[in-house]
Amino acid sequence: MELFLDILVAILLILGCLMSLIAGIGLLTFPDMLTRMHAATKPQVLGFLLIFAGLVIYLRSWAVIPVLALAWGMQLLTAPVSAHMIGRSGYRTKHAAKETLFSDELSLVVNRVNGAPPTGATPMSKAEAPEDK
């Protein structure tokens, strides 16, 4: 039983750390901010869950579960919020490369709110431009 639990701990820790390595590789190799966001969220939830599970099983104590559940739940609550904020400001500041998007549904709303686009806010025409050529 002890050996089984130790092997389980080893597998969980290696998988959890592998998520961090995958996030680093993705951050280096992906070409765009939005795709890098996709890579960066890998260790936030799944990687932490695996590492925390490995830690709890290795320590063999119920007492650390509430603290780690607090940390993981905090991560679960805040990761979508921060990803949303980063994506939103990236879209607003043209840091996100919109030429690589297949469909840009937010541009419909932005154009409708802005009315006639006065200040060069024409993401829809930009998105359709490659198809016209």
Partner 1 sequence: MLDIVIWICGIMLGLGAIACLIRVAKGPSILDRVLALDVMLLIISAALCLEMVLHKHTDYLLFVVAACMLGFIGSVTVSRFVSDQRNA
Where along the sequence are the contacts to partner 1 (CB under 8 A)? 6, 9-10, 13-14, 16-18, 20-25, 27-28, 33, 36-37, 40, 43-44, 47-48, 51-52, 54-55, 58-59, 61, 64, 67-68, 70-71, 74-75, 78-79, 81-82, 85-86, 88-90, 92-93, 95
Q: Hey, what are 34's tokens?
A: 């939005």
**Nearer Cβ to partner 1, position 11 or 128?**
11
Instruction: Determine contact, residues 19/50, Cβ cutoff 8 Å.
Output: yes
Q: Hey, what are 124's tokens?
A: 């829809």
* Distances in whole angstroms, Cα of residue 30 to Cα of each of 33, 35, 40, 105: 8, 6, 11, 23
* Distances in whole angstroms, Cα of residue 36 to Cα of each of 29, 39, 110: 8, 5, 24
Q: Give the nearest distance from C-beta 133 to partner 1 in angstroms.
A: 25
Q: Give the nearest distance from C-beta 28 to partner 1 in angstroms.
A: 5
Instruction: Determine contact, residues 33/90, Cβ cutoff 8 Å.
Output: yes
